[in-house]
Amino acid sequence: MPRGDLFPDIAPFETGLLPLSGGHVMYWEQVGNPRGQPVLFLHGGPGAGAGAVHRRFFDPHHWRIIIFDQRGAGRSRPLGELRDNTTPHLVGDIETLRRFLGIEQWMLFGGSWGSTLALAYAQAHPERVTGCVLRGVFLGRRQEVEWFLYGLRRVFPDAWADFAEHVPEEERGDLLNAYLRRLCHPDPALHLPAARAWSQYEGMCSTLLPSPDTVASFAQDRTALGLARIEAHYFAHDLFLPPEGLLGGMDRIAHLPAEIIQGRYDMVCPAESAFDLTAAWPRARLTVIPDAGHSALEPGVRLALVAAVERFRRRG
């Protein structure tokens, strides 16, 4: 897929490993202008990890781009670790990284689960946030998890059948726990096939048109294990969010500006959540992409994300 509408490939000017609580170690990197306006990239999943393409949404001459892999994901260690891995832990990790890098405030950029974590962090530390660019909004509500596990079969019955048929028929009434048992099993012969089945299901449903490259990237063992195991763990615990949910804390960030980018045909995180969030956020601007699904790399979505970041740049 040509991606000339993103900024050119760029290497980090600094990388590191930051020890965290519970034996976790965070991979982090800085890209772009060391004296630029700070922006924090929050990857999806939870558990998906970040990649080189995520650096390219930002003009490296202007932005000081901070990217990290969340607990158990990507290049952070140990891969797929669930102990001490909750949303409050991740919010604390972001603060640890901010203090370590000596940053006073930063803009938040996150899609899918990254939008969830951005909201959770902003509500916990509104004084540290200058604004948000969010994509494919996921609020972590029970109905959103149920949609992923069962509702998607209405649109992707073939992908859902492959997903469901990985477990015996008698366990399909509780797919989440059926998968979680397999994903947490110590034997790779059990947990890796389950991780691939879960991750490929998500990949197949993430784009408006079929994208073999997207599915292949989701199917890689390292990506699949972090994504599936951690995602199932978070789903089983209501994403470790407060009882009132994220919409219940919007008064804490009502003053912050936000750009929300949503694919009209996003099946992984349907547009209802983006509309609900916009209605609760006085300074949010919603852009609906008429010919896109969930992926940040679909042409209309990536164009809109770059444009949204540029609008924040002009705000200064």
Q: Is 112 one of the annotated active-site residues of the chain?
A: yes
pLDDT per residue over 63-93, tens digit each?
A: 999 999 999 999 999 999 999 999 999 999 9
Q: Is the pTM of this model over 0.85?
A: yes
pLDDT per residue over 213-240, tens digit each?
A: 888 888 788 889 999 999 999 999 999 9
C-alpha dist (Å) from residue 208 to 57, 90, 308: 21, 31, 21
Verify that 151 and 53 share a domain, yes or no: no
Q: Which of 112, 199, 206, 211 is catalytic?
A: 112
Q: Which domain holds residue 38?
A: 14-140+240-315
pLDDT at residue 4 tops 80: no
Verify that 308 and 191 share a domain, yes or no: no
CATH of the domain at 264: 3.40.50.1820
pLDDT per residue over 103-142, tens digit each?
A: 999 999 999 999 999 999 999 999 999 999 999 999 999 9
The token duo for 85 is 């891995």
Nearest to 92 by CA among 50, 120, 56: 120
Mark which of 202, 218, 238 sits at the end of a domain: 238
Nearest to 185 by CA among 176, 198, 195, 175: 195
DSSP-H helix ranges across 165-298: 175-183, 188-204, 212-219, 221-236, 272-279
pLDDT at residue 2 tops 60: no
138 within 8 A of 234, measured Cβ to Cβ: no
Verify that 127 and 149 share a domain, yes or no: no
SS (H, E, C) 11-56: CCCEEEEEECHHHCEEEEEEEECCCCEEEEEECCCCCCCCCHHHHH
Confidence at residue 316, expressed as pLDDT on a 0 to 100 scale? 62
Handedness of CA 112, 36, 28, 13 (dihedral sign): positive
Indicate whether 7 belongs to any domain. Answer: no
H or E stretch at 309: helix 299-315
Peptide linkage before 290 cis (omega within 30 of 0): no
- Give the number of residues written for the chain: 316
Q: Which of 69, 266, 273, 295 is catalytic?
A: 266
pLDDT per residue over 266-281, tens digit each?
A: 999 999 999 999 999 9
Verify that 59 and 19 share a domain, yes or no: yes
Whole-angstrom distance, CA of residue 116 vs CA of residue 139: 6
Verify that 108 and 228 share a domain, yes or no: no
**5 φψ region: left (φ > 0), alpha (ψ -120 to 50), beta (else):** alpha
Q: Is 294 one of the annotated active-site residues of the chain?
A: yes
Indicate whether 115 belongs to any domain. Answer: yes
Domain count, the chain: 2
Mark which of 211, 238, 265 sits at the end of a domain: 238
Q: Which of 54, 166, 191, 294 is catalytic?
A: 294
Verify that 249 and 109 share a domain, yes or no: yes
Indicate whether 2 belongs to any domain. Answer: no
- Written as one letter, the residue type at 100 is F
32 within 8 A of 64, measured Cβ to Cβ: yes
106 within 8 A of 130, measured Cβ to Cβ: yes
Verify that 84 and 204 share a domain, yes or no: no
